[in-house]
């Protein structure tokens, strides 16, 4: 496959065009950013780890019946994906209070939510990805009411699957961020990535609030052992996938 040109460079990935206009190549970077890129660094092998974890999770989600942009992974840090127009909404699903939910509502970190909370944020770095209301979302014409309903339902289904999957890994899925895209037929596909960069993952067997953290919060909060945590998540995902086959 010949690769043509770089289409876009984001904080965690570079997107390339390919010889097929319906197919893009996503190259996962080791660069790490937090707090809207105010904190920058890099995590050794993060690109390979996140690409491999995402590839495995997308394949599992496809088997579960969720349509994703995933095609295949020609090497550990690259993924071929269906070309989609990204809906500029970051969908956050929460099972346990943490992060901005705790900061903004006062709900103590670790509070188990009675039901999953689905939130929409405006995907706009200049504005700092603000929390959206439904009315603001429609005011900005970010998606139609039908698309929002579909995305909301898909987000809950993805959460249902991922909670169980991570549980098999001995990992508690606290919260995570999803992005969706529209293909050439206006079909909504799950896009972007699902990885320790985009999920809060706590080691279920560990009670200590710092030791249990297995995700990007180790980088955000300078908890140390970032690489070890990412590697451990990868190993557990690969084991869980293998045990299914
Ligand atoms: P919070 O709103 O608490 O900061 O984030 C909630 C969840 O969504 C966390 O798992 C976090 O990793 C993920 N998340 C939200 N926004 C972003 C983002 O812009 N980039 C990444 N990588 N993850 C995000």
Give the pLDDT confidence of 67-91 residue by residue, as tens digits.
Answer: 999 999 999 999 999 999 999 999 9
Ligand 1 atom closest to residue 216's alpha carbon, by position in its atom list: 12
Residue 104 lies in a domain: yes
Residue 76 lies in a domain: yes
Q: Which domain holds residue 95?
A: 85-224
The domain that contains 60 carries what CATH number? 3.30.200.20
Ligand 1 atom closest to residue 101's alpha carbon, by position in its atom list: 3
Q: Whose CA is nearest to atom 15 of ligand 1?
A: 177
Q: How many domains does the chain have?
A: 2
Q: pLDDT below 50 — which residues of the chain?
A: none
Ligand 1 centre distance from Cα of residue 218 (Å): 13
Ligand 1 centre distance from Cα of residue 173 (Å): 13
pLDDT at residue number 53: 98
Burial (CB < 10 A; 0-12, 13-18, 19+), residue 183, is middle
- What is the per-residue DSSP string for the chain? --EEEEEEE-SSEEEEEESSTTEEEEEE-SEEEETTTTEEEE-TTHHHHHHHHHHHHHHHHHHHT--BSEEEEEETTEEEEE--EE-SEEEEEEEE--HHHHHHH-PPTTPEEEEEEEEEEE--GGGT-PBPPHHHHHHTTSS-HHHHHHHHHHHHHHHHHHHHHHHHTTEEEEEEEEEEEE-TT--EEEES--STTTEEEEETT--STTTTB-STHHHHTT-S-HHHHHHHHHHHHHHHHHHH-
Task: Judge if 158 and 146 occupy the same domain.
Answer: yes
pLDDT at residue number 3: 59
Cβ < 6 A, ligand 1 pocket:
90, 92, 99-101, 129, 175-177, 197-200, 216
Task: Judge if 125 and 180 occupy the same domain.
Answer: yes
CA–CA distance, 174 with 70 (Å, rounded to integer): 24
pLDDT, tens digit, for every residue of 131-164? 999 999 999 999 999 999 999 999 999 999 999 9
Ligand 1 atom closest to residue 90's alpha carbon, by position in its atom list: 16
Task: Judge if 39 and 127 occupy the same domain.
Answer: no
pTM for the model stands at 0.97
């Amino acid at each position: 496959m010949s690769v043509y040109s770089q289409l876009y460079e984001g904080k965690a990935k570079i997107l390339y065009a390919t010889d097929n206009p319906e197919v893009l190549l996503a190259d996962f970077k080791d660069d790490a950013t937090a707090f809207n890129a105010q904190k920058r660094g890099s995590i050794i092998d993060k690109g390979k780890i996140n690409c491999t974890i995402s590839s495995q999770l997308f394949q599992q989600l496809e088997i579960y019946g969720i349509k994703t942009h995933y095609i295949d992974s020609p090497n550990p840090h690259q993924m071929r994906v269906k070309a989609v127009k990204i809906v500029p909404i970051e969908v956050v699903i929460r099972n346990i209070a943490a992060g901005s939910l705790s900061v903004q509502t006062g709900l103590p970190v670790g509070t188990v939510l009675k039901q999953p909370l689905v939130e929409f944020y405006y995907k706009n770095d200049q504005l700092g990805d603000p929390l959206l209301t439904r009315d603001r979302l429609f005011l900005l014409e970010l998606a139609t009411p039908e698309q929002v309903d579909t995305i909301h339902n898909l987000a809950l289904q993805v959460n249902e699957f991922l909670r169980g999957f991570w549980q098999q890994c001995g990992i508690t899925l606290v919260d995570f961020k999803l992005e969706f895209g529209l293909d050439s037929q206006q079909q909504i596909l799950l896009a972007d990535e699902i990885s320790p960069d985009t999920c809060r993952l706590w080691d279920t067997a560990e009670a200590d609030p710092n030791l249990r953290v297995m995700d990007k919060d180790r980088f955000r909060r300078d908890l140390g052992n970032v690489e070890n945590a990412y590697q451990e998540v990868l190993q557990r995902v690969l084991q869980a996938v293998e045990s299914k086959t």
